[in-house]
A and B are shown apart, each in its own frame.
With several copies, the nearest count.
Chain A
Amino acid sequence: MNFLDDLFERRSRQLAQRSSRRGVLKQLGGLLVGAAAVPLLPVARAVAAPQAAPKAPKEMGDESDCDYWRYCAIDGFLCSCCGGTKNSCPPGTEMSPITWIGTCRNPADGRNYVISYNDCCGKSSCGICLCQRDEGDRPPYRSDKTNDINWCLGTASAVYHCSTAIVVGVALDKGAK
C-alpha cells in the first residue's frame, strides 16, 4: 500500500504547508522608510557559555523537522533538508543579510530566543521540507512580521532557495516578536 501512504503523506503536506508563502525571512524593524535600515533588536546579547561550566547549552529535537523549536515563525524550505543546516546555507547559495526576527522558546532551557530567519538565495526552490508555521505572522504591510514576502533582498540574486533559523540572542521578554 505504498501508493496510498505516499498519497496521504503528500496530501497532508499540501494541506498543512502549501497554503502560503510562509514568511521565509523577514525584516528587522517596523517602518523602514526610503532605504534599508538596521533597527535595534529587542535582544539581550547572550553571554557565551563559560568554558568550564558544568552544564552545556542544550537544544532538543530534529532540526529537519518543521516542529523544531527554532522554526516557530519560519516559512519556507528548511535548509537543514537542502544541504545546509539550521543555521547555515547549502553549498553555492548566499545568505540574505536582511531578515525577519522571531521569538521562539527553547524547550530545553525554557528561555525565549531571538531567531533570525536568513534566507539562502541564488538557486531555485530547494523543494524539500516545506515548513509553514504562521504563528505571529502578519500581512506584508507589517513587514517586520510578515512571511509572505521574498526576503532574498540585498543578495546578488533574488531567487529564493531555503530558510535558516539562527540564534542571535536571548529575548528580553516573551512578547518581543
Chain B
Amino acid sequence: MRRFKNRVSWAGLLASTVLAATALAQDSSLPPLPIEATGTVQSLPAKYPDEWFLVHDASFFHMSDGKVYVIDTSADTVAEQVKGMFNVVLMGNIGQSRRRGEIYAAETFHSRGTRGTRMDVLTIWDMASLAPKGEVVWPTPKRYMGMPQRFAVTPIDNDNLLLVVNFTPATSVTIIDLDTREIVNEVATPGCLMAYPTGQRGFSSLCADGRLMSTQLARDGSLIKQTRSDVFFNSDDSPIFEHTAFIEGTAYFPSFSGEVYPVNMQGKVAQVGKPWDLVTKEERAGNWRPGGIGLIDADDHGHFYILMHPDGADGTQNGGGSEVWVFAAAKRERVLKIQLQAWGLSLAVSRGKKPMVLVTNPTDMSLELYDGTSGEYIRSVKDFGQETPLMLHASYQD
C-alpha cells in the first residue's frame, strides 16, 4: 500500500523495470535470432478438449461490446488459459454444434452503434479459426434480448436445424437450415418461451400458464404439430426456472422453492414427471433455495449441479448461491456439496471422465474451478479482461 501513497515511486518503478531488463547475463557468441514471418494467425482444434469452456461476458456496462472467451481451465496462467475470443453484440446468446465445429451467436447491430437501423444477425463462428464463416440476417429484427440463456439458440435434428428464440414481446422461434444457412420457418409459440430440444426434430417451450408446449417439425423445418401439456406448476406461486440440465433426454427444471421437475424430452411431446425435493426439511427451514443465472448444468455421469443459497426469499432467486449441490438425478440423491470460496452466480460443468465445475464469482467477476467429484477448489481464472461473465458453457453443449 505504501507505494501508492508515495507519489514519486511510480516513475521510479518504471525506471527500475528498464534497468532490470538490461542487467541479465549475455553470450555474444550465440548466432543471431532468425527473421520471423509476419501475418501468422493461430488456430484452435476443431473439437475443443473437455477442459475448455465458453465464457460469455455480456459486458453489462458496455453491451455493445459483449465478448465470448474460449478458456482452457486446465492451465495455470491467464496466458495459457485464454485461447481466443469473439464479440457478441447486445445481450446475445450462443449455441454450439460439435458435429459441424461451429458456434452460433445471435446478436444485434445498429447502423450507428447504439442508434440507427437495427439488424438481428446469427453469426456462425468456425471453432477452429474463430473466424465468422457465415451469417443469417433476420428479415425483421425480433430476437430475444435479455440475460444470457442456454436454450435461446439451440441446434436440433443432429444439428441440421437451428432454433433461435424471438420476443417482441410476441414469442416465436426462427428455424434455420444449417446446411444452407437460411431461415426456413418461423413458428409462433404463443405465451411460451425458449427452445428445449425434444424428440428427434422438435422443441419444447415453457409457458406462462404453467405448461410446456412441444413443437414437432418436419425435416424442412415446417410445423407438424404443437402440443400443450397439462398445467404442472403455477408461475405466480410456485415458479420454475427457465434454466435446466439435460441428462439422457430428461430435462431437470428446478423450482424457486427447491424442488426439481424431471421432464422427459425423448418423445415427440414433453412428459412431465413427478417433482422431488432438492432440500431436506431442515434445509427448507433454513430457506435453502436454488438461485442464480446459469444456475444448473449436468455432467456426463448422470449428475446435475445447482447453485444453492440459504435464507432464500422473494427476490433472492437470481442472486446465486454460496454452495453448489450435486445430485445423482436417477437416484434423486445428493452426492456432494461444494462450498464456494465466496459466492457463485452461474456455473457450467465440463464433459468427459473428470467433471469440473466452473463458477462465476460475482464478488470480483472471476471464475473458479472446482473438482466435480471431490468438490475441491482447483484454481481461479481471472484478469482476462472480463466485465460481467454472466453465462458459462461447457465447450460442447450436446
A and B touch in the complex (CB under 8 A): yes
Q: Of B26, B28, B70, which is in contact with the most chain A CB atoms at under 10 Å from its CB?
A: B26
A150 and B73 alpha carbons, distance in the complex (Å): 31
A56 and B31 alpha carbons, distance in the complex (Å): 6
A80 and B42 alpha carbons, distance in the complex (Å): 11
Give chain B's interface secondary structure class: loop
A35 and B170 form a contact (CB under 8 A):
yes
B62 and A125 form a contact (CB under 8 A):
yes
The segment from B262-270, B326-334, B362-370 that touches chain A is: B362-370
Across-interface contacts of B384 in A (CB, < 8 A): 127-128
Across-interface contacts of B86 in A (CB, < 8 A): 92, 123
A136-B314 CB under 8 A given contacts A110-B26, A158-B108: yes
A124-B63 CB under 8 A given contacts A91-B42, A116-B38: yes
Give chain A's interface secondary structure class: loop
* Contact code string A17-42 (vs B, CB < 8 Å = 1, else 0): 01111100001001111111000000
Interface band, chain B: 35 or more
A91-B32 CB under 8 A given contacts A3-B1, A80-B79, A128-B384: no
B33 and A46 form a contact (CB under 8 A):
yes
B170 and A36 form a contact (CB under 8 A):
yes
A46 and B147 alpha carbons, distance in the complex (Å): 34
The segment from B114-122, B273-281, B298-306 that touches chain A is: B114-122
Chain A residues proximal to chain B, CB less than 8 Å: 3, 6, 8-9, 11-12, 14-16, 18-22, 27, 30-36, 45-50, 53, 55-60, 64, 66-67, 69, 72, 77-78, 80-85, 87-95, 97-98, 105-111, 113, 116, 118, 120, 122-129, 132-146, 148-150, 152-153, 156-160, 166-170, 177
**With A14-B365, A91-B83 already in contact, 19 other A-B pairs whose C-beta atoms are closer than 8 Å:** A18-B362, A19-B320, A30-B208, A33-B190, A33-B191, A34-B188, A49-B31, A87-B37, A88-B41, A94-B41, A110-B27, A124-B63, A125-B62, A125-B63, A128-B79, A129-B79, A139-B239, A145-B235, A149-B169
